[in-house]
Structure 1
Amino acid sequence: MAVVAVLAGAVVLAACGSSGTETRASTAPVERATISLGVSGAGTMAASSSRNLGFAAGGLLTSVDVQVGDTVKAGQRLARVDSFQLRQLVVQQKANLAAQKAALAKLENSPSLRGARNSLAQARTIRNATSSQVAATKRADRVAVSRANSALNSAQSALAACTSDCSSLQAAVVSAQTAVSSAEQALKVATAAGTVSVATAEQGVVTAQNAANSAASDRPYSITQQKAAVTTAQSLVDVAEHNLSLATLTAPFDGTVTAINGAVGEYLTASTGTSAEAPGTDAAVPGTTVVAGTSATNRAGGTQFMVISATGPMTAVVPFQELDAAEIVAGQTAALSFDALPDVTTAGTVTAISPSGTALGGSMSYLVTVSLDTTDKRLKEGMTVHATVSTQEKKDVLSVPNAAVRTENGQSVVTLVDATGAQRTVAFTAGLVGPDRTEVVSGLAEGDQVLVPSATTH
């Protein structure tokens, strides 16, 4: 029973020498455990997503509707700059659009083509009437000529048959000859005048036809051209309205306002600053300095008017030395602790590792993003975080405390303590060596008690 009591509690071994020191020891069982190896680094906490906000064209700041620390919803108005000129430009462009649409409607509803075609029809009617009139005049004049010739023939026959006083018949012949000459002359005049009238009417038809052809040919191209002008005017309206909308700053997502650099009445410059993003996320790399011109600024948010960070789980952004970074891949687990919150520890998962390094302290470092499995409301952006990424892991393997293991002649050995308290040195094959335990590949059995030196006293 005494032996059992010794094994159940601490086995104390005293080795006194000339120095007066005493080494205290205890036993520990060979048992199954999870052994992991990892690499460690210190970094900074960051929001899972952050955004620098500002005004594309700058301007006079007329309102700020939030304060630093406010929680905002996507689409919520945050601030505005003076928009008088932008509003007037919208009015001007809309007026121009209305004018272009009116011009298009005028072209589409214009009676010019219909009028040209009506004029052509009228010209053809006039030409046909003129031709008919000329033909009728010619027929009448020909009849008059025929009648005059008949009268002349009759007068000449009567004169030829006259045997006594024929002076009256002679006068009748002369009169008839004069009538024939007059009728023939009238026919010639009517023929010439008719030719001119018909030609004039035909020219009117040609002119009307040309006008109708021109109106029919130009109309579709004029309408197409005016439609293009309407499209251009509409695009100018869209641009003006878009620029007007940029005078109001809204939240791009649900989040918290983390920085505001501007007060009502101040003039803001156009927003041009950008932020370096942590690998694999929309989170800005914490602690990066935004450069404005040739000098750096350390004010919150850099040169940006406002910064908003997304609500929800946070991420840790940790630089690792190149030798350690070479062992890290996405999906590995990590243990996280925080200087500001010593009572808080949490697990996380490696999201991504930067493909390119940054020279820090004379060596290359690579940024690693670790997403937290849980979120403590006390965690804030910028807090220091210590991350240990598990690069190798074996679960449910036999193991002994590292303090029990020593090396003799190049072999890993432990001191076994049996049920009687007797001790003997046993060699074993060691596997993975973790921070506090060593894997037992062979040479020891589960439940074996090994000696573990625990302290040295004087």
Structure 2
Amino acid sequence: MVAIVVAVLVLAGAGTGVWWFTGRDKANAASTTGATTTTVAASLTTLEKSVSATGTLTPTVQQAVSFAVSGTVTAIPVKVGDTVTVGQTLATVDTLQLNADLLAAKATLASAQATLSDLQATNTGTAAATAQIAAASAKVTVAQAAETAAEAAMGDATLLAPVAGLVTAVNLQVGDKVTGTGSTGTGSTGNVPSSSSSSGSNSSSASGQFEIVGTDAYDSSLSVNDSDVALIKPGDQVEMTSDSVTGTVFGVVRTVGPLSTATGVAAYPVVVDVTGDTKSLHDGISVTARIIYERRANVLTIPTAVITKAANGTSTVTKVASDGTTSTVTVTTGESSGTVTEITAGLSEGDQVQVTTYARTSSGTSTGGTNQNQQGFPGGFPGGGTGSFQLPNGTTVQRNSNGSFSVTQGKGGSNG
């Protein structure tokens, strides 16, 4: 009977081995030790460097829309929950006063133009006549501007959606009297004369008579600490995950804030634009982001575990030829990422390197009639106690009193 009680992976020094500890019968056990070798190929991969941060997804467009003119509300053809397009009518006000203002502006302009025409017709060329014509011409200019504004106000009697999105608030009822306030919000706006907007990102929109949230574009404001922010630049790719979303949400860095927005530990705002499909997203999703600030493709790598580092800093691997013969090869290592290490010299793509797996198994029968397995390790780990054991390559495995293991590699290396 073989019972596995606990397995400890040891990245051994010279032998680059893996040692599996197994339980043994506490009465009568026989132990055997063996080694298995396999190979792994040096291969090309992509190495990345990244910074982690957290944030919240919000719609890029958050628009508060209000009438820019005064009047009494006569119609509201939309309601909360409706999806609107750019230029769609949100509401209208009566035009009685607006029409009167426009007629008055037209009359003033006509009078100013008539006066200018008369003065030009009777111009005597004197300084006084010239001054009168100049004054009359200025009045025409002012009257023309007033007429243009009155015509625009007539157009503003119909409030149009400056952006496409979901109507999230309607703070008007038919019959309400409104005064011109315009619109505020974040994000891009359409060319709609009925509202004015300010552009920004992730700032709170002022409350408006209507509030529209975009559903086709999202961003996230991340907080990055001061030790990492210098590594990030606009255009860097970002991968975001959340318990509320299936799969990865991709994005790119839009801006990196130059000023810290946190108290205590300095942190800087990094705004990320979400790219790709946004159908499954909604406002307020918390995300964990990985900002990739360096990516190198076609990097030759091998598993870090197969590399042996000597006390003098030299790194070697056991290379396996096509005929099965082995040789120790010195390699030059570069950066490590996860479980792989870059090889800059000493190996080529496809070269096979050896991985050695050591295994120790225990079997036996107890004299009481029932097998009772408990933690027992060569070299003295009986009953879950403390102790140490040395592998054939000189690596020492120490069992601590709390049940954890410390591993010290032989021949110039350590691993815990």
The answer to whether the superposition gives a TM-score over 0.5 is: yes
1:259 aligns with 2:168: yes
Provide the residue aligned with 2:394 in structure 1. Answer: none
Contact kept, 8 Å, 1:46 with 1:284, in 2: the verdict is: no
Residue 44 of structure 1: which of 49, 52, 56 is its match? 56
Residue 387 of structure 1: which of 253, 264, 289 is its match? 289
* Aligned residues with identical type, % of pairs: 26
The within-5 A match list for 1:14-25 is 14-16=20-22
Moved more, 405-414 or 229-238: 405-414
Which amino acid in the other structure matches residue 86 of structure 2? A
Q: By how many angstroms is 1:275 displaced?
A: 5.4
1:77 aligns with 2:76: no
User: What SS does structure 2 have at the residue aligned with 1:355?
Assistant: coil
Question: In the aligned structure 2, how far is the partner of 1:375 from the partner of 1:273?
Answer: 29
CA shift digits 1:317-366 (9 cap, x unpaired)? 32222222110112322323333222x22543333322222116x32222
Q: By how many angstroms is 1:391 displaced?
A: 1.9
Which amino acid in the other structure matches residue 272 of structure 2? V
CA shift digits 1:105-149 (9 cap, x unpaired)? 555667xx9xxxxxxxxxxxxxxxxxxxxxxxxxxxxxxxxxxxx
Change (3 A) 1:435 1:80: farther
Question: In the aligned structure 1, how far is the partner of 2:79 from the partner of 2:150?
Answer: 30
User: What SS does structure 2 have at the residue aligned with 1:263?
Assistant: coil
User: What SS does structure 2 have at the residue aligned with 1:433?
Assistant: strand
Residue 95 of structure 1: which of 96, 99, 107 is its match? 107
Provide the residue aligned with 2:46 in structure 1. Answer: 34
Residue 306 of structure 1: which of 206, 210, 213 is its match? 210
Residue 79 of structure 2: which of 29, 45, 67 is its match? 67
CA shift digits 1:394-438 (9 cap, x unpaired)? 221221234556766474867748589999997743211223422
Which amino acid in the other structure matches residue 222 of structure 2? V
Q: By how many angstroms is 1:38 displaced?
A: 0.7
Question: In the aligned structure 1, how far is the partner of 2:165 from the partner of 2:312?
Answer: 59
Residue 340 of structure 2: which of 437, 445, 450 is its match? 437
1:374 aligns with 2:283: no
Bigger Rg, which one: 1
Contact kept, 8 Å, 2:41 with 2:353, in 1: the verdict is: yes
Question: In the aligned structure 2, how far is the partner of 1:243 from the partner of 1:375?
Answer: 39
CA shift digits 1:262-316 (9 cap, x unpaired)? 02144557648855779xxx97544x5x4xxxxxxxxxx5423334455655444
Q: By how many angstroms is 1:48 displaced?
A: 4.7
Q: By how many angstroms is 1:243 displaced?
A: 3.6
Question: In the aligned structure 2, how far is the partner of 1:411 from the partner of 1:357?
Answer: 41
Q: By how many angstroms is 1:256 displaced?
A: 0.8
Change (3 A) 1:24 1:273: farther
Question: In the aligned structure 2, how far is the partner of 1:241 from the partner of 1:398?
Answer: 70
Change (3 A) 1:16 1:235: closer
The number of residue pairs the alignment matches comes to: 328
Which amino acid in the other structure matches residue 245 of structure 1? G
Contact kept, 8 Å, 1:44 with 1:318, in 2: the verdict is: yes
Which amino acid in the other structure matches residue 439 of structure 1? E
Which amino acid in the other structure matches residue 148 of structure 2? D
Question: In the aligned structure 2, how far is the partner of 1:277 from the partner of 1:412?
Answer: 56
Provide the residue aligned with 1:235 in structure 2. Answer: 145
Change (3 A) 1:402 1:19: farther
Which amino acid in the other structure matches residue 321 of structure 1? N
Question: In the aligned structure 2, how far is the partner of 1:225 from the partner of 1:92?
Answer: 21
Question: In the aligned structure 1, how far is the partner of 2:85 from the partner of 2:289?
Answer: 32
Q: By how many angstroms is 1:448 displaced?
A: 2.5
Question: In the aligned structure 2, how far is the partner of 1:359 from the partner of 1:425?
Answer: 53
Gaps of 5+ in 2: 1-16, 27-32, 189-197, 362-374, 376-416
CA shift digits 1:160-197 (9 cap, x unpaired)? xxxxxxxxxxxxxxxxxxxxxxxxxxxxxxxxxxxxxx
Change (3 A) 1:234 1:271: closer
User: What SS does structure 1 have at the residue aligned with 2:227?
Assistant: helix
Question: In the aligned structure 2, how far is the partner of 1:39 from the partner of 1:277?
Answer: 27
Q: By how many angstroms is 1:85 displaced?
A: 3.0
Residue 397 of structure 1: which of 274, 295, 299 is its match? 299
Gaps of 5+ in 1: 1-10, 114-212, 291-300
Question: In the aligned structure 2, how far is the partner of 1:40 from the partner of 1:243?
Answer: 50
Residue 357 of structure 1: which of 257, 260, 265 is its match? 260
Question: In the aligned structure 1, how far is the partner of 2:166 from the partner of 2:54?
Answer: 26
Which amino acid in the other structure matches residue 171 of structure 2? G
Change (3 A) 1:383 1:59: farther
Provide the residue aligned with 1:184 in structure 2. Answer: none
User: What SS does structure 2 have at the residue aligned with 1:242?
Assistant: helix
Question: In the aligned structure 2, how far is the partner of 1:317 from the partner of 1:19?
Answer: 58
Question: In the aligned structure 2, how far is the partner of 1:24 from the partner of 1:364?
Answer: 52
Change (3 A) 1:271 1:52: same
Which amino acid in the other structure matches residue 353 of structure 2? Q
CA shift digits 1:350-383 (9 cap, x unpaired)? 33322222116x3222222334442242223433
Question: In the aligned structure 2, how far is the partner of 1:67 from the partner of 1:84?
Answer: 26
Change (3 A) 1:418 1:25: closer
Normalising by structure 2, we get a TM-score of 0.61
Question: In the aligned structure 2, how far is the partner of 1:285 from the partner of 1:350?
Answer: 13
Q: By how many angstroms is 1:83 displaced?
A: 4.6
Contact kept, 8 Å, 1:403 with 1:453, in 2: the verdict is: no
Question: In the aligned structure 2, how far is the partner of 1:25 from the partner of 1:59?
Answer: 86
